[in-house]
Amino acid sequence: MSADYAVHGNVAVITMNNPPVNGLGLSTRQAIVQGLSQAQADDAVTSVVITGAGKAFSGGADIKEFGTPKATQEPHLLSVIHAIENSTKPVVAAIHSVAMGGGLELALGCHYRVCAPGADIALPEVKLGLIPGAGGTQRLPRVIGVEAALNMIVSGEPVKSEMLAKLPGQALFDLLSESKDSLLQEAISFAQSVAGKSPLPLIRNLPCKHPSADAFFKFSVNMVNGMTKGKYPAPLKCIEAVQNATRMKFDQGMTAEREIFTNLMWTPECRALRHMFVAQRAASKIDDVPADTAQREIKSVAVIGAGTMGGGISMNFLNAGIPVKILEMKQEALDKGVAVLRGNYEAQVKKGKLKEDKFKQRMDLLSTTLNYDDLKDADLVIEAVFEEIGVKEQVFKKLDEVMKPGAILASNTSTLDVNAIAHFTQRPQDVVGLHFFSPANVMKLLEVVRGADTGKDVMATVMSVAKKIKKTAVVSGVCDGFIGNRMIEQYSRQAGFLIEEGCTPQQVDKAIEKFGFAMGPFRMGDLAGNDIGWAIRKRRYVEKPDMKYSKTADLLCEMGRFGQKAGKGWYDYLPGKRDAIASKEVEDMIANHRTTLGMTARKIGHDEIVQRLVFSLVNEAAHILEEGIAARASDIDMVYVTGYGFPVYRGGPMMYADQFGLFNMVQAMHRFARNPHDDATFWQPAPLLARLVAEGKNFN
């Protein structure tokens, strides 16, 4: 059973015990109901306390049960809450640490609530594309007020228990305990004080009104529409459900809530968001690295290079309270890099996102040097130097000389061979790739590139460090471009073919942005710097002379149009602004190039643009999976959602392919292969993709 039952004097204590967050899976629900029945049958018991063991009261439903028979198997959460409400003996929720989702709904069903300070209280279902489904939309407005409840439900964000205790009107908590340590004893004392009371208070019996309901809910709908732009159905349904609480009797509101919840469960957006929730947790696990693997201690970090990447990488560690020493070859470069880093923090202070004392603390943790010997005591060193193998060789040979035994040597390379880099040293087991994404202090993704010799303890350590600096770490094997950049190359090739065949850069960008990408391929190229892709293509022309590319990107670079940093790229840019303006010069270059090729521009529809771009990602990803570069399809989805702007409500390229239908996708790929201006060889389905279609299976 996933709950413990004990009697303290005349109070029965039911302690949910389902680590790590006491999820309300079937066995936990069964144990609560059994404990209630046992307490009801014991004449010596006069009241009941429900609490949670360990780090949480309850984090809510067990998401692994969503869509399975266990999710609806009796007793489901509604039945558990019904049993609590109908108890003839008072039931007190003793809340601490975390009460979220179904955990909070369980507490709202209790007769009384005692809470420890510092607890995070939330109904986060909207983040999974759902609304609360066990009375949250009906009970919370009755106890904290309609506006406060709607804000919590639509945002899904946690609120501290002390803040909620200050709200006017009905009290969510009957008592705030002195501390988490004294919570249980205070809850038992409170339970004893209410023993024998009749009738027992029920939140469901409280009124639910708003003085200007129509205007308030209309305003709320307009606000949500403005923020979500119709991409997420759940927030609007949250508003509908809370509005029902003000218009309907409680049981009617509950029936409507359940209907909305059930309908949302099978929307593509909900399936995608639930997929991402599970994928994020799966990405943190490495199959052959046990959870108890001993980790190396990381107390200080060194960063080689004070450029944009080096400064951004350094900020992540400074933010986490870890001292950083930055090395550069010239004082001028060092001063410039530190000035940019300081400026980033000052901008946060100015916007009110960072307090002055925190800013000072972080800058105090930063030191600089021009001498490799000064790095010798660092536990982790990350190089962020020019992306050229000869430069990396010089750096790693020097690090091998000076770094202490056991130090982890990491490369921020985005494409180069981590195994080759590791063997520039005498300690390849200590070398790993840590590929941060620009801007490194903002982007969540961290590709952890595991070399052939990288030690398991190194992997365990860097995955733990990634969590500490609040990155979403995804493990990649070694190949050119790893997961993300290897796939984006195929996406970029398709973008080039599309403009040769008749599209404008803005047409391609508009189509993929309407699909949900944060930025189209041409705006992305201008932001990253078109010269970076140019350098990679020059290497490809030597290494893979048979690979086909559109020449338009090279012609663009030959014109000096390197992107935003040059004030011109695929688009024109006004000084100091990032607005992309269509360029007549680029349109003329593309038209002249088509003439050189003897091509006539054709009209290309939105669907073809999106499918060629997205399906190119999926087909390359299928090769990556087959080769073992990525451990699972959901890891690839995490890379693309957190690092490349793939729309989260579509769940990443692999989840989107599953929902589109792999058979349908392969049929489209066969059509693209017949296009004489495309790359027919590339559009042959990857063996894994072909096998999944033949077997009627999906990636996820």
> Cα(415)–Cα(484) distance, rounded to whole angstroms?
10
CA pseudo-torsion sign 214, 218, 221, 223: negative
> Cα(19)–Cα(302) distance, rounded to whole angstroms?
37
> Cα(72)–Cα(297) distance, rounded to whole angstroms?
45
125 carries an active-site annotation: yes
- List all residues 6 or more positions away from 654 whose beta carbon is below 8 Å from its beta carbon: 618, 621, 633, 634, 636, 637, 699, 700
Query: Which one, of 547, 480, 507, 520, lies nearest residue 682 by Cα?
Result: 547
- Calculate the CA 511 to chain-centre distance: 24
Looking at residue 174, its amino acid is D
Query: Which one, of 406, 456, 399, lies nearest residue 425 by Cα?
Result: 399
- Calculate the CA 243 to chain-centre distance: 30
Looking at residue 407, its amino acid is A
- List all residues 6 or more positions away from 500 whose beta carbon is below 8 Å from its beta carbon: 550, 552, 590, 593, 594, 597, 599, 677
Query: Which one, of 502, 470, 463, 678, lies nearest residue 594 by Cα?
Result: 502
CA pseudo-torsion sign 53, 58, 59, 62: positive
3-state secondary structure of 81: helix
Beta carbons of 571 and 524 less than 8 angstroms apart: no
Element (H, E) at 694: helix 687-695
> Cα(455)–Cα(405) distance, rounded to whole angstroms?
14
147 carries an active-site annotation: no
Beta carbons of 563 and 529 less than 8 angstroms apart: yes
Looking at residue 478, its amino acid is V
- List all residues 6 or more positions away from 255 whose beta carbon is below 8 Å from its beta carbon: none
CA pseudo-torsion sign 512, 518, 519, 521: negative
Task: Spell out the SS3 assignment of 207-276.
Answer: CCCCCCHHHHHHHHHHHHHHHHCCCCCHHHHHHHHHHHHHHCCHHHHHHHHHHHHHHHHCCHHHHHHHHH
> Cα(566)–Cα(689) distance, rounded to whole angstroms?
41
**How many CB atoms are located within 10 Å of the residue 546 CB?**
6
Angle at 191 between CA 186 and CA 196, to 5 degrees: 155
- Alpha helix stretches (DSSP H) within 627-652: 633-643
Beta carbons of 379 and 298 less than 8 angstroms apart: yes
Considering 85, 125, 157, 501, which one is annotated as catalytic?
A: 125
- Calculate the CA 449 to chain-centre distance: 19
- DSSP state, 555? H
Considering 74, 105, 162, 543, which one is annotated as catalytic?
A: 105
Catalytic residues: 105, 125
